Chains A and B, each alone.
Chain A
Amino acid sequence: MGTMSFLSYLINGISLGSVYAIIALGYTMVYGIAKMLNFAHGDVIMIGSYVVLTAMTSYGMNPLLAVGIAVIFCTLLGILIEKLAYKPLRNAGSPLAVLITAIGVSYLLQNIALLIFGANMKSFQSVIGTKQIPLLGGDLLVSMTTIVTILSCVIIMLVLTAFIKRTKAGQAMLAVSEDQGAARLMGINVNGTISLTFAIGSGLAAIAGVLLCSAYPSLTPYTGAMPGIKAFVAAVFGGIGSIPGAFIGGILLGVIEILSKAYISTQLSDAIVFAVLIVVLLVKPTGILGKNIQEKV
């Protein structure tokens, strides 16, 4: 295997990893703040992609506008899901109640999409275009989609980190994630903060959906399911609750997946990815960047 093909595999891995990372950011934010696993996250991605597709093909909108609409739509959808399905159960005692509800919401979204759009695969037209950029004297072809995906991921990660560090709302999120009770006593609107988290997470999901479908242009009601699970793994990998962790976890997962496909076996790549996850969790149970916060008694 030459260096060129290694580089090319690496870029593909980073590109795939960036999509995982953006999805993982949504998982990790919601987990960090609401302490729940939103299994419907992958399906919000799918809904976002359908919104973009419909806006572009049925209404002939320009791609950027379509993405904007999808982000708004998913943001509202996220808030709605949180209000209707999760909030009433937040104090239900067992965290399992919300977890099961999230699985239910996931199936609900899939079946609604089945009903509206049908199960037939739709070919997604890339929002970004299919231009190729030759690097290193033309030996290495990198698609525009790959570059945009990686860049968006980095930008989103930086903006999110800044948002949490620099803004009042971000600080409120941090406070809620550390101690909901104390945050409420300090006058923080806990419910509002959690809603905001869902809104941001779901808005990100719309962007992730567009990037996912631009890179892999097939859309069915189940499109979000597998990337959703992989992204969840990425979030755990990087340390769930940590934003840079989700980024690193996502990229690593994508790179490991592609490299194990390239150099070991195309069939075993998933097994290898999960084996690496197990090893990481054995060595560092909280994930790569996870903090070990001790529960105070």
Chain B
Amino acid sequence: MKKFTKRALGIVLAVSMALTMSACGSKETAQDSGENGSAQTAFKVGGIGPLTGGTAVYGQAVKNAAELAVEEINAAGEVQIEFNYQDDEGDAEKAVNAYNTLKDWDMQMLLGTVTSAPCTAVVEKTFEDNMFQLTPSGSAVESIQHPNAFRVCFSDPNQGIASAQYIGENKVASKVAVIYDSSDVYSSGIYQKFAEEAANQDFEIVEAQAFTADNKTDFTVQLQKAKASGAELVFLPIYYQEAALILTQADQMGYKPMFFGCDGLDGILSVDKFDKNLAEDVMLLTPFAADAQDELTQNFVKNYQEKYGEIPNQFAADAYDGIYAIVEAIKKSGVTPDMDASAICDGMTKAMTEISINGLTGENMTWTEDGEPNKAPKAVVIKDGAYVLR
């Protein structure tokens, strides 16, 4: 879910660095597994995600919720987990470095990475090493393109399809405008599928306007066109940073349509000094709503709030479910902490398609061999500065 590195030079450096780093990484792991390998009682689960940088809101939520889940599981006693979370700043190159750091720590499974572009880079490494990987929120198709990788969240195309179906089936609007980032895989991926699915639904896309990474401060033109097209709803398959600007500029123009977004909008209420009134009535499709009345959600929200002082977002829920899915697959497959990462991966990969868990982000969640989850999406709407189930 993160933008690609822009500079060609950066990519070249990243690739060459990744190659050299992984080379020394695998050597060290080989030595380490020769030295120890016995008497280990806890699974070493690594986590990777941004703790700094523009997407830090996501990475921090994942870290918090995963640590909360690990505490609960260790207290329950059946499975013991050691959790080590590394910062990648939402950057593909740094994610690979973080992965190598975790391998030096003898990681046996990976919960990560949080954003898409780094996830797509890291999945290549985990596939090479045959390391089990479960990403809570890496939603690009390529993020889990190998058989050893699974995800908790919906993929980008699925978010696009689900959004179109939701708008159509619930008759939210009949004329829809879209503003998306054509330079970002996450955004353009969702838009593409949304447009395809819209053809089957009872609404019309009257305007689709793109912007690019280098030109994302002024949205007056895009908004004006949406306004002129008579759209009742503006679909924003983008990240919350740009969405915050769009909401502000729409307000300045006196344009008040409904706004509808995907998981990228999650986090908009955490933007420093953001006027939450602007986000009033914004809808977003997300598998998690903090105000859901079931016991699991209420306990999670209560514990999370006590520990971290804020209401958990969807990324936190994805990570929490991710840890529980890992534990479920550990039990199912019967892997033990003294096995090496590759043997664990073989067992876990098979077990993932056999388990079913009741999580925060869906009841009876199951996984396909492609690594995609099966669960029903929910729509939430922002009311008085909080997410409310619609």
Contact = CB atoms under 8 A, between A and B. Distances in A.
B74 to A, nearest CB: 31
Interface in B208-222: 209-212, 214-215, 217-218, 220-222
A21 interface: no
* Residue among A8, A121, A220 having the largest count of chain B Cβ atoms under 10 Å: A121
Contacts of A227: 217
A165 B209 CA distance: 47
Interface string A14-28: 001000000000000
Given A12-B221, A121-B272, A266 B211 contact: yes
A147 interface: no
Nearest to A117: B272
Given A5-B228, A267-B182, A123 B214 contact: no
Given A120-B56, A216-B218, A270-B214, A262 B273 contact: no
Interface string B229-250: 0000000000001001100110
Interface stretch (A79-87, A97-105, A124-132, A235-243): A124-132
Contact of A12 (B53, B57, B182, B220): B220
B254 interface: yes
A266 B221 contact: yes
Contacts of B211: 266-267
B252 A123 contact: no
A121 B210 contact: no
B368 interface: no
A123 B273 contact: yes
A96 B253 CA distance: 45
Nearest to A120: B56
Contact of B215 (A8, A121, A123, A269): A269
Nearest to B253: A141
A262 B52 contact: no
Contacts of A120: 54, 56-57, 271-272
B308 interface: no
A57 interface: yes
B221 A123 contact: no
Given A118-B52, A120-B57, A123-B272, A226 B254 contact: no
Nearest to A119: B53
A136 B286 CA distance: 43
Given A258-B218, A266-B211, A57 B273 contact: yes
Interface in A236-287: 257-258, 261-262, 266-267, 269-270
Contact of A119 (B56, B210, B248): B56
Nearest to B52: A119
B221 A130 contact: no
Contacts, number: 91
Interface in A197-212: none
Contact of B210 (A130, A145, A220, A267): A267
Q: How large is the interface on A (under 10, 10 to 19, 20 to 34, 35 or more residues)?
A: 20 to 34
B175 interface: no
B291 interface: no
A218 interface: yes
B310 interface: no
A5 B224 contact: yes
A262 B272 contact: no
A192 interface: no
B196 interface: no
Contact of B248 (A217, A257, A261, A262): A217
A220 B54 CA distance: 9
Contact of A9 (B53, B224, B244, B251): B224
* Residue among B53, B211, B214, B215 having the largest count of chain A Cβ atoms under 10 Å: B215
Interface residues of B, number: 35
B224 A122 contact: no
A130 B220 CA distance: 15
* Residue among A120, A124, A143 having the largest count of chain B Cβ atoms under 10 Å: A120
B52 A123 contact: no
Given A216-B218, A218-B217, A121 B241 contact: yes
Nearest to B181: A267
Contacts of A266: 209-211, 215, 221-222
Contacts of A118: 52, 56
Contacts of B89: 119
Nearest to B241: A121
B3 interface: no
A267 B212 contact: yes
B241 A130 contact: no
B251 A130 contact: yes
A119 B251 CA distance: 26
A57 B212 CA distance: 31
A266 B211 CA distance: 6
A143 B209 CA distance: 23
Contact of B214 (A122, A217, A226): A226
Nearest to B254: A141
A218 B210 contact: no
Contacts of A261: 218, 221-222
Contact of B244 (A123, A257, A258): A123
* Residue among A8, A53, A123, A269 having the largest count of chain B Cβ atoms under 10 Å: A123
A218 B218 CA distance: 11
Contacts of A267: 182, 210-212
* Residue among B52, B89, B224 having the largest count of chain A Cβ atoms under 10 Å: B224
Contacts of A269: 215
11 contacts: A5-B224, A8-B224, A9-B220, A16-B218, A119-B53, A120-B56, A123-B244, A124-B273, A132-B254, A217-B244, A266-B215
Shortest 3 CB-CB contacts between residues of A and residues of B: A123-B274, A216-B217, A261-B221
Given A9-B220, A226-B214, 4 more contacts: A5-B228, A121-B54, A123-B272, A218-B245
